[in-house]
Structure 1
Amino acid sequence: MVDQRPVEAGISDFATWEPVLRLLLAEQQHRPAASPVRVTGSIGRGGWSLALTRRRPPPGRAAQVEDMQEEVDAVTRVQNALAAAGVDDVSFTAEIQPTGRTSLRLLGPSPAVEPGIGTPYPGALLLIEGSVPEPWRRLPDPVPTAVPSPSADPALLDRTLRERLPDAIGATEEEIDAAQARLGVTLPDELKVLYRVVRARWEDWGDDYEAAERVFAAVGCELLPLEGLSVADAASRDCRWEFAALEAVDTPPDAMVQGLVGSPGWIVFGDNGGGDRIAVDLTPGPRGHLGQVIMLSHEEDTGASLLADSLTDLVLGRRTAERVSPAAREHAVARVNVASLKSIQAAAHPGLEVLSVGVWDGAPLSLAPVTGLPRLRTLSAYPGTLADPLEIAKLTGLEFLELGPHDWRVLLDAGAVPRSLSAAAIMVWGRQDPLPIVALANEILALWNRPQIVQTVLEGDLGPVAQPTADGPDGG
């Protein structure tokens, strides 16, 4: 989020929002006559969420932008105003009177609140500035006995690459030294050999895509230029608080790769062509090798899989495969719901870090079985599933808490919101008025003296609102 400030000109011009409001109003075909209409939504620079029914394309044709051109035009008008004001996203709610008189409330931004996902409700509340969930703070365990794989052979690697790429342009020692200085790490010998043979700059290939493909085929991945090397540390794997807080990482004693979000020793040098990063691993697992090749999936927020014991093996096509099994982390994350664990007692054990209580059709549950657990840091509870929300006050190690509005109200009224929290979230199901949710979020933020969610009220007139007929707007 950007720095908190009043919404600037453009965004605060009612005319900017008028086309969006008219579209949402037209959607309310079955509203009671002579009653105000309330509409909500959210628009960001990269997308929007509006309760609009889109026209179906003709049979046999895929949907086109033209099929929703009026919506696109209306949203683009707002997005341009957001960009001009330096604002990433804004949620809104509006009440439209039968006369057309409209009160529009813009909700946000706040640097202490992540935007909601496809809803006008706030996302995670960042109670401690700069905080990240525990898995994102986890550093690799030292493995002082780790050595390169016996298959690592810089001389063979050099010879193989030069045979496959006789015309390649390699990096100079000065360029390699500059890359090491930029990254703050000494590159392993195999990686230096690779870039001494081919520096992988597109300007070296011109418009010859076949030359680039030959390099990628010779190496075994889409090779990044030397200047494109990066460190796959935890910060490089951006994840929203409410999702990241539900993750847990663990490294079994027989793992080749450490179970981490990221590591200062994961040096990304390539891509598999599908968005998955390929790196050499300088912080291997207990059974791993220094300089082994791993892959970080773009579909996952934690962990990495082993591709090859060495860069030599990767180039020679001698691949392996190992991933830290999700089962290795199951003990740390427990889900209690109609399809998983059937009680909180079944989830309780000393290693529990994350407790998620989902859809539940039985009697409300007590948190007593998990009171005093030393590692419990996250609680997410579906509205109405807890017998006594005040039991949360006994969970003294929580860093993230996600509850429904009623449970938050109970904690706030009792002064029992855990002060150990770094972030929080309000779970909203169904269509609810965003204004009480925003007010509740601001109460929670105020406990930590965090910036509030700004509300900007705009008044305007859409003109007399057409009244719906009994058979709908088209009379039939």
Structure 2
Amino acid sequence: MSSIHAFTTWEPLLRLLRTHNSERLSEPGGYVAGRISQGSWSVPLRRQSPPPGQAAQIEDTQDEWDAVQRVHGALAESGVDDVSFVVEISASGRTVLHLLDPGPAVEPGIGGPHPGSIILVEDAVPEPWRRGPEPVEGLSAHPSADPGLLERTLRERLPETVGATDEEIAAAETRLGLPLPEELKALYRVTRARWEDWEDDYDKAVEVSDAMGFELFSLDDLHRADPSTRWTPWEFAAMEAVVTPPDAAVQGLVGSPGWIAFGGNGGGDRLAIDLTPGPRGHPGQIILIGHEENTGATLLARSLTDLVLNGEGEGDAEGDAVLRREPPEIAYVNIHGVGSVQAAAHPALEVLSIGVWEGEPVSLAPVVGLPRLRTLSAYPGTLADPLEITKLTGLEYLELGPEDWRVLLDADAVPRGLSAVGIEIHGERHPLPVVDLANELLALWNRPPITRTTLEGEL
């Protein structure tokens, strides 16, 4: 038996949960739930606030830390990334612990025990992640691009660095499957940015970053920033749309095989040379791929030479791809957004989100037949008739509350063209019935279920 499924592994944490949740556990049907993954945890334990003017101390949460680390060790030993739990503890100490393994077909939930998006089709990705760059004719490099000037400038700034050989550059091109732009070759001829070349001297790494104006990736870490490098959970990715306005310098893509990431800004964002620019862009322009956005990128400079010599510009407000679109591509119908489903209906509509609503439940009739509608998310209780969903034949992602899913399941009316689904949880819901619902949906596609292991013991 795996140590993650041993009651003794969980016992220290269970004792803490019992102490911190005695009232809740003593209620009829009382339970507590949480989630632990390799790098984080969310467990319902109260933490005392430190005295005013004093920071929290490690010893204040040492018991919690020790108990969770015991589970972390079992996860690592078992080769499991993530586990959710639901526990019931009687006044006598009789304990029933349910361990939930999401398996390969369910993404982890965000910060809690409920399942995340349910992947019905193996390896399916949302439509924006399948979108490649559009060809744009007649574009040319910006006049500021000057590989010779760039190399001379960097050699003056960095006279003692180790540059890449022609053979190393050729090897990088073979690995990437495309020739490197001349400016990028010029940069790496000055420094290949390998840590061993700096003899583990952090100051030398800082010197290179200061000379460049950014943190340079080593030649070995150079990569194409295609959509696979910008992974996003389905529940968020399905709500995006790829849109490139006619005056954009940067295409509003998730990623592109023509975005060559060569550095970062120190805050998690990547810098890339853009070889697939928008209608008003230039091949070889420099873009910033933000880690807080799921689509699009920001124009930083018209060339690598321009970036190194002059630093980041202010971009081009007219030329930057729009990162998030309001209708017609994406519509949020709620008390603060679009006023009705009718107002959201448009031939270009791809994503419809129906949120908190104070009026009567809404009909989906206005969006039936729209050619591009692929995502529907409906807050629990907002749909007048969930069976209208069967008329939306192009959906690939559907997010509903448990009651609406129950209507579709009981009527054998779950759309079979879906690639992924989500169960919207509002307020407090016992996780086990939600898991059962998720497994019903998975079974329709013969996908691996969420597995439940029940352990019993005495505290």
TM-score range (shorter-chain normalised) is: over 0.9
1:227 to 217, 220, 226: 220
Give 1:214 deviation, angstroms.
Answer: 2.8
Alignment partner, residue 335 of structure 1? 332
Alignment partner, residue 408 of structure 1? 405
**Consecutive unaligned residues in structure 1, runs of 5 or more:** 1-7, 463-476
The C-alpha deviation readout for 1:369-420, integer Å capped at 9, x for no partner, is 1111110100111100110000001000000000000000000001111111
For residues 164 and 449 of structure 1, the distance between their equivalents in structure 2, rounded to whole angstroms, comes to 60
Give 1:148 deviation, angstroms.
Answer: 1.2
Is contact 2:243-2:252 (8 Å) kept? yes
- Residue 446 of structure 1: SS of its match in structure 2? helix
The farther-off stretch of 408-417 and 150-159 is 150-159
Give 1:254 deviation, angstroms.
Answer: 1.5
2:57 to 49, 59, 64: 64
Is contact 1:152-1:310 (8 Å) kept? yes
Give 1:33 deviation, angstroms.
Answer: 6.0
Is contact 1:36-1:96 (8 Å) kept? no
Code of the aligned partner of 2:270: R
Code of the aligned partner of 2:179: T
Alignment partner, residue 3 of structure 1? none
1:256 to 242, 249, 253: 249
Code of the aligned partner of 2:345: A
Code of the aligned partner of 2:423: I
For residues 26 and 189 of structure 2, the distance between their equivalents in structure 1, rounded to whole angstroms, comes to 76
Listed as ranges, the matches of 1:22-37 within 5 Å are 22-31=15-24, 37=30
Code of the aligned partner of 1:276: D
For residues 284 and 62 of structure 2, the distance between their equivalents in structure 1, rounded to whole angstroms, comes to 52
Whether 1:202 and 2:195 are equivalent positions in the alignment is: yes
Cα–Cα, structure 1 residues 319 and 31, in superposed 2: closer, same or farther, change >3 Å? closer
The farther-off stretch of 433-442 and 47-56 is 47-56
Is contact 2:240-2:324 (8 Å) kept? no
Whether 1:371 and 2:368 are equivalent positions in the alignment is: yes
Cα–Cα, structure 1 residues 104 and 233, in superposed 2: closer, same or farther, change >3 Å? same
Listed as ranges, the matches of 1:262-277 within 5 Å are 262-277=255-270
Alignment partner, residue 353 of structure 2? 356
Cα–Cα, structure 1 residues 327 and 91, in superposed 2: closer, same or farther, change >3 Å? closer
The C-alpha deviation readout for 1:7-31, integer Å capped at 9, x for no partner, is x521111111122222222123435
For residues 331 and 257 of structure 1, the distance between their equivalents in structure 2, rounded to whole angstroms, comes to 20
Is contact 1:396-1:418 (8 Å) kept? yes
For residues 357 and 105 of structure 1, the distance between their equivalents in structure 2, rounded to whole angstroms, comes to 33
Code of the aligned partner of 2:355: G
For residues 337 and 329 of structure 1, the distance between their equivalents in structure 2, rounded to whole angstroms, comes to 13
Alignment partner, residue 308 of structure 1? 301
Give 1:47 deviation, angstroms.
Answer: 1.2
Alignment partner, residue 247 of structure 1? 240
- Residue 34 of structure 2: SS of its match in structure 1? strand
Is contact 1:348-1:369 (8 Å) kept? yes
Alignment partner, residue 141 of structure 2? 148
- Residue 51 of structure 2: SS of its match in structure 1? coil
Give 1:35 deviation, angstroms.
Answer: 5.3
Is contact 1:250-1:329 (8 Å) kept? no
2:322 to 325, 350, 374: 325
Is contact 2:102-2:115 (8 Å) kept? no
Cα–Cα, structure 1 residues 109 and 10, in superposed 2: closer, same or farther, change >3 Å? same
Cα–Cα, structure 1 residues 24 and 146, in superposed 2: closer, same or farther, change >3 Å? same
Query: Normalising by structure 2, what TM-score?
Result: 0.96
Code of the aligned partner of 2:12: P
For residues 238 and 34 of structure 1, the distance between their equivalents in structure 2, rounded to whole angstroms, comes to 41
The farther-off stretch of 420-429 and 58-67 is 58-67
Alignment partner, residue 5 of structure 1? none
Cα–Cα, structure 1 residues 34 and 159, in superposed 2: closer, same or farther, change >3 Å? closer
- Residue 3 of structure 2: SS of its match in structure 1? coil
The C-alpha deviation readout for 1:211-243, integer Å capped at 9, x for no partner, is 333322222211111111111110000100001
Cα–Cα, structure 1 residues 33 and 178, in superposed 2: closer, same or farther, change >3 Å? closer
Listed as ranges, the matches of 1:424-463 within 5 Å are 424-462=421-459
Whether 1:38 and 2:31 are equivalent positions in the alignment is: yes
**Consecutive unaligned residues in structure 2, runs of 5 or more:** none
Is contact 1:405-1:426 (8 Å) kept? yes
Alignment partner, residue 398 of structure 1? 395
- Residue 91 of structure 2: SS of its match in structure 1? coil
- Residue 334 of structure 1: SS of its match in structure 2? strand
For residues 210 and 376 of structure 1, the distance between their equivalents in structure 2, rounded to whole angstroms, comes to 53
For residues 412 and 37 of structure 1, the distance between their equivalents in structure 2, rounded to whole angstroms, comes to 28
- Residue 31 of structure 2: SS of its match in structure 1? strand
Is contact 1:25-1:37 (8 Å) kept? no
Alignment partner, residue 279 of structure 1? 272
Give 1:37 deviation, angstroms.
Answer: 3.8
Alignment partner, residue 292 of structure 2? 299
Alignment partner, residue 76 of structure 2? 83
* RMSD of aligned alpha carbons: 1.6
Listed as ranges, the matches of 1:108-187 within 5 Å are 108-187=101-180
Code of the aligned partner of 1:454: T
- Residue 331 of structure 1: SS of its match in structure 2? coil
Query: Normalising by structure 1, what TM-score?
Result: 0.92
The farther-off stretch of 132-141 and 208-217 is 208-217
Residue identity over aligned pairs, in percent, reads 64
For residues 425 and 318 of structure 1, the distance between their equivalents in structure 2, rounded to whole angstroms, comes to 44
Whether 1:383 and 2:376 are equivalent positions in the alignment is: no
Cα–Cα, structure 1 residues 31 and 242, in superposed 2: closer, same or farther, change >3 Å? closer
Is contact 1:382-1:427 (8 Å) kept? yes
For residues 94 and 15 of structure 1, the distance between their equivalents in structure 2, rounded to whole angstroms, comes to 14
